[in-house]
Structure 1
Amino acid sequence: MASLSSRHYTLVFALIMSCLMSLLMSGVITFINTGLDAGFPLRWLRAWLVAWVVAFPLVSFIAPLAHRLTRRFVQAKEL
């Protein structure tokens, strides 16, 4: 499998994180709001597309900040 340069880490992280989180959250919220019936998969897909369009730029912007804050709170163990 080909790998990308480490300079693409934040973008790839944002893509994966935004896809997974928006998929899971839109599914849960769609289920809670509308229930599970024959139209659920299409409603979920529509909700996910809207959520992902919002989530990807937000995660792209917020991920570096979250990494910096995490490094402040979590110290690496020294051997």
Structure 2
Amino acid sequence: MLFPPRYAPLVVSVLMTTYMAGLMTLAITLVNTGLEAGFLGRWIKAFLISWPIAFSLITVGRPLVLRLADRLIRRS
């Protein structure tokens, strides 16, 4: 185990935002500029801008989203 269990929310936030920001910026950069020269640089720049924003939003919003999801899930 690399991290103690108390760090689970932070580890999940890092992994989820890296995954989502990476794929979203890849798709958007590809659609907007195509696979032209300099694509990798444009994608990395977009990722480096979007990841901190995504991480901040998830870190702050995660508890609210979890509470909302809990209210929306029907219990038997």
Q: State TM-score, norm by structure 1.
A: 0.84
| CA distance, structure 1, for counterparts of residue 14 and residue 27 of structure 2 | 20
| CA distance, structure 2, for counterparts of residue 40 and residue 68 of structure 1 | 39
Q: Where in structure 1 are there 5+ consecutive unaligned residues?
A: none
Q: Where in structure 2 are there 5+ consecutive unaligned residues?
A: none
Q: Once the 2 structures are TM-superposed, how far is the Cα of residue 4 of structure 1 from its aligned partner? A: 2.8
| CA distance, structure 1, for counterparts of residue 60 and residue 73 of structure 2 | 21
| CA distance, structure 1, for counterparts of residue 13 and residue 26 of structure 2 | 19
Percentage identity across paired residues of the two chains = 38
| CA distance, structure 1, for counterparts of residue 75 and residue 19 of structure 2 | 27
Q: How many residue pairs end up in the alignment?
A: 76
Alignment partner, residue 50 of structure 1: 49
